[in-house]
Amino acid sequence: MRINLANSEIVVEDEHGERRLALDTPEAFAVLSDAWVRSGWANRHSYTFTWFGRPVIQLPSDLMRLQELVWQLRPDVILETGIAHGGSLVFSAGLCRLLGHGRVIGVDIEIRAHNRQAIEAHDFASEITMIEGDSVAPHIVDRVRALIKPSESVLLMLDSNHSKAHVLAELEAYAPLIKPGGSIIVADGLMDGLVELPGAKDDWSWNNPKAAIADFLERHREFEKASPPSLFNERGVADGGSHWPGGYLRRIA
């Protein structure tokens, strides 16, 4: 795809030919958002943010959607796979603190000592429980389940190993914790659109979270794809750039 930007329009050239799109149209916004996300990923833009002192490695727009979902659902537990520097745990824990309700469980195959120390010393540490180990190992899944009461509602966020097999295994392991009306967020659904960029792998075209979601939904009709939360949208414009496209699931039965 080739994009030429003028003052009031963009010219898009692709396999469908040439299109001229006025900048104030949703179609132009979608094209430019996609290009911005791809360029941002290649330049590690998401690695330039912290949340309350911890690197968060998420796009601000995705975090805003996450807080909208937490506000809607007010879950008893936010369960996250993938901890890294702990910024996402701190973000979720802060939301729980503001709401006066809920807590966060984080799982990672390796929690580096300096990250653990910083998270445990954080002002929001009382809302956070960390478990080190492979998120799909049976004994780790059992430890997580033991921390959650049957009556508690769970919001699940998967952001660890992004291979198709691992994400699918995480969905199979933890989706039963989600009650009807509850949600799952699967991160990094953009991978199949990054294949040609430096640092991407060729197998991302099929070995990615979106492929895992498709297989999971074929087997589990009690879940469906959902749109990102949108509690306020004055002009009805499509959602902007995201690292989580197609990553929202909702339990319907």
pLDDT, residue 75, reads 98
Domain co-membership, 121 together with 82: yes
Domain co-membership, 231 together with 127: yes
Domain co-membership, 94 together with 26: no
Domain co-membership, 109 together with 227: yes
pLDDT, residue 16, reads 82
- Specify the pairing of strand 9-14 against strand 17-22: antiparallel
18-32, 36-50, 51-65, range with the lowest pLDDT: 18-32
d(CA 220, CA 243): 24
pLDDT interval class at 194 (50, 70, 90): very high
Supply the DSSP symbol for 224: E
Task: Tell me the three state secondary structure of residue 64.
Answer: helix
Query: Residue 144's CB: how many other CB atoms inside 10 A?
Result: 21
d(CA 103, CA 96): 6
pLDDT, residue 14, reads 86
2-6, 144-148, 157-161, 237-241, range with the lowest pLDDT: 237-241
CATH number, domain of 166, equals 3.40.50.150
* pLDDT value at 238 more than 80: no
pTM, two decimal places? 0.96
Domain co-membership, 134 together with 23: no
Domain co-membership, 108 together with 179: yes
Domain co-membership, 205 together with 86: yes
**Which amino acid does the sequence have at 33?**
S
Domain co-membership, 144 together with 219: yes
Supply the DSSP symbol for 243: S
* pLDDT value at 124 more than 80: yes
- Specify the pairing of strand 103-108 against strand 128-132: parallel
Strand stretches in the chain, DSSP E: 2-5, 9-14, 17-22, 50-51, 54-55, 77-81, 103-108, 128-132, 154-158, 183-186, 223-225, 248-251
Domain co-membership, 223 together with 131: yes
pLDDT, residue 236, reads 77
Report how far apart the first and last C-alpha atoms of the chain are (Å, whole number): 41
Q: Count of domains in the chain?
A: 2
d(CA 241, CA 64): 12
Domain co-membership, 29 together with 143: no
Percent of the chain with pLDDT over 90: 91
Residues ≥6 apart with Cβ < 8 Å to 65: 228, 229, 239, 242, 244
Joined together, the tokens standing for residue 152 give 């508690």
Domain co-membership, 39 together with 52: no
Q: Give the mean model confidence (pLDDT) for residues 200-207.
A: 98
Domain co-membership, 146 together with 234: yes
15-29, 182-196, 202-216, range with the lowest pLDDT: 15-29
The domain in which residue 28 lies consists of 1-43
pLDDT, residue 13, reads 93
Supply the DSSP symbol for 33: H
pLDDT, residue 243, reads 97
d(CA 167, CA 148): 21
